[in-house]
Chain A
Amino acid sequence: MSRQAPEGKNLVKRHGLVVLIEHWAIAISGLALILTGLFELPIARRYFITEIPGLRWSGDYIFSLWLHYAFSVVFVGASLFHVVYHGLMGHRAILPKRGDLRESWEVIKSFFGKGEEPPFAKYLPEQRLAYAGIALIIAGLIASGLVKTWKNLFAPDMDLTLVLWATWAHNLFFVLFVLAFVAHMAAILIKPNRPMIRAILTGWIRRDYAEHRHPLWIAELAGRNDHPAREQEAPTRERPPDGEAGGENPQGLS
């Protein structure tokens, strides 16, 4: 990933390589976990999923469990990396702030033509809220998943109450995870949000879009650096008091 905006291009760097890798490691393994998790339920054969070319294995509980575990390694590893790395680096831009709930309601209304969008920092208030929500769901999936894994490996006669908690928590968070994913897809399909798709794929975002929609973020970049587009991986000299750091490897995108 080049650090400099291609000459003459109208772009600002939004995400560093680390964040892109984290987002996609979690997204791809998460989707694979939904699929292999579904195949842990007795549905593949009943619903002829085993007849679909390439999905014959879906009826094999042991193999789909193997895959579920394999993707869990990526999912859990990336999630813990994310927390440790951004936690220690002090990246805070994506953590929810006071007032996000109210502000995000304004934003949603503006999507439907009611009122003006407020100026944004690096993330929309709903992105910060969505982040907190998905983080909670992921934490729940990981904690319950680890208990289930431990039981399968070492403790088949684990206390029934714990087993039931882990299983039903896992099932509940699975449903929430699917809902969160659907909401996430809906959110990025909303027209004003679409330019962010380029950001999550390449790291770069259109400068005119960012200046117009995320003026607080751009101002912050400018205040720190004459050429925000150029200094992405470089460490910030001083962190703004509210932690609204945006220039370098951002913040908490999972």
Chain B
Amino acid sequence: MKRDHEHGISRRAFLSGVATAAVSGAVGLPAKARAAGEGAFGTLVDLSLCDGCEGRDMPACVEACRTKNAGVVPEPVDPIPKPFPRGKIEDWSKKQGVTDRLTPYNYLFIQKAEVELGGAKKTVFIPRRCMHCDNPACATICPFSANHKYESGAVVIDQDICFGGAKCKEVCPWAIPERQSGVGIYLHILPTLAGNGVMFKCDLCQDLLLKGEDPVCITACPRKAMLIGPKEQILAEAERRAEAMNGYIYGKEENGGTSTLYVSPVPFELLDAAIEKGPGRPHLGKAPRKMAKTDPVAKAVMASPVIGLVAGLAAVAGARMKSGKEGDHE
């Protein structure tokens, strides 16, 4: 079976760990559950294993991802309509070959960090993509619900209804989604007044997950630096590995928790300071969940029907008491 084959790879990766017995069950849910999209996945990126595929033209995961997603972005119209009033167009269609940052055509890239740890120079390679957060603002506050978190844990943009307003990018702590102008539904509505393209990012190979297969970046990695499995088991494995290497985890608390856990022997503050950051090149620093600030008042909203109801009953009781006293009623 295909799934067993796929999981063979994940399993071997797990076996390279120490506590083999404890984790060998971690591999994958039954295919049926997966196909139904039940159960959340976690992924683990072990930075002690990734060597950036030095010596290859392109890192294997990046290449696999690009191959799988080739053709996802349709050909933009020419000329691309100028959005009123700013006229800012984002067109990557002539730069599809860029692989050293996130673009609408490139959902995974490798960051490089040269750090000094305990007196020794060390190079760390960090595959970067969407973190598939636990409560992703990018998805929950999309005004068209074009971006959605599935039960599988994958956060997926529906390119057919995305207007490219880039709100998701704005609220993402890492500004992951990237815009391609000149494609998508906005062209058919008010192209110069509303919308400006479509947002693109990693979808955790959701189509493969539903078939019971693993994301291609994970299967492609020659060093088995990435894993996928049931979320709790991936977390347990990340913690086990971090402890074994006396290392650190990134992605567990960030943005309120994500389904991507980086495990590194080097503290993430050092990595964050060493990597090149900027547009399309996300940081590795603190990432508080911005929406957390709205949680208390959102809970008040959920309580407001009850408040109104009780106040209404109280007012009725008050009015009846008053009329009872005046004795001319009922």
Chain A interfacial positions (CB closer than 8 Å to B)? 18, 40-42, 46-48, 61-62, 65-66, 69-70, 72-73, 76-85, 88-89, 142, 145-146, 149-153, 156-157, 160, 163-164, 166-168, 171, 234-235, 237, 249
Contact = CB atoms under 8 A, between A and B. Distances in A.
Contact of A156 (B83, B139, B329): B139
A62 B135 CA distance: 14
Contact of A80 (B166, B295, B308, B323): B308
B312 A40 contact: no
A61 to B, nearest CB: 6
A84 B301 contact: no
Contacts of A48: 85
A151 B147 CA distance: 13
A88 B312 contact: yes
A40 B141 contact: yes
Contacts, number: 141
A77 B304 contact: yes
Contact of B291 (A46, A62, A72, A77): A62
A125 B305 CA distance: 29
Contact of B145 (A73, A163, A234): A163
Interface size classification for chain B:
35 or more
Contacts of A151: 140
Contacts of B291: 62, 65, 152
Contact of B294 (A62, A78, A160): A62
Interface stretch (B46-54, B58-66, B95-103, B148-156): B148-156
B166 A42 contact: yes
Contact of B329 (A82, A168, A237): A237
Specify which of A77, A83, A146, A234 lies most central, judged by the most chain B CB atoms within 10 Å of its CB. Answer: A77
Contacts of A61: 141, 167, 170-171
A77 B301 CA distance: 9
B102 to A, nearest CB: 19
A69 B329 contact: no
Contacts of A150: 302
B78 interface: no
Given A61-B171, A146-B301, A42 B293 contact: no
Contacts of A249: 319
Given A41-B167, A79-B308, 11 more contacts: A46-B83, A62-B137, A80-B308, A81-B308, A146-B302, A149-B298, A153-B299, A157-B149, A167-B145, A235-B328, A249-B319
B194 to A, nearest CB: 8
B120 interface: no
Contacts of B326: 234-235
B304 A73 contact: yes
A62 B171 contact: yes
Contacts of A80: 304-305, 307-309, 312
A251 to B, nearest CB: 14
A88 B299 contact: no
Contacts of B189: none
A229 B308 CA distance: 30
Contact of B298 (A46, A69, A79, A142): A69
Contact of A81 (B145, B150, B167, B311): B311
Interface in B302-330: 302, 304-305, 307-309, 311-313, 315-316, 319, 322-323, 326, 328-329
21 contacts: A41-B167, A46-B86, A61-B141, A62-B290, A65-B141, A66-B293, A70-B300, A76-B304, A77-B304, A77-B305, A81-B311, A84-B308, A85-B316, A89-B319, A152-B141, A152-B298, A153-B298, A163-B148, A164-B145, A235-B323, A235-B328
Nearest to B303: A73
Contact of B301 (A46, A73, A157): A73
A228 to B, nearest CB: 16
A171 B134 CA distance: 26
Given A62-B290, A149-B298, A157-B150, A78 B136 contact: no
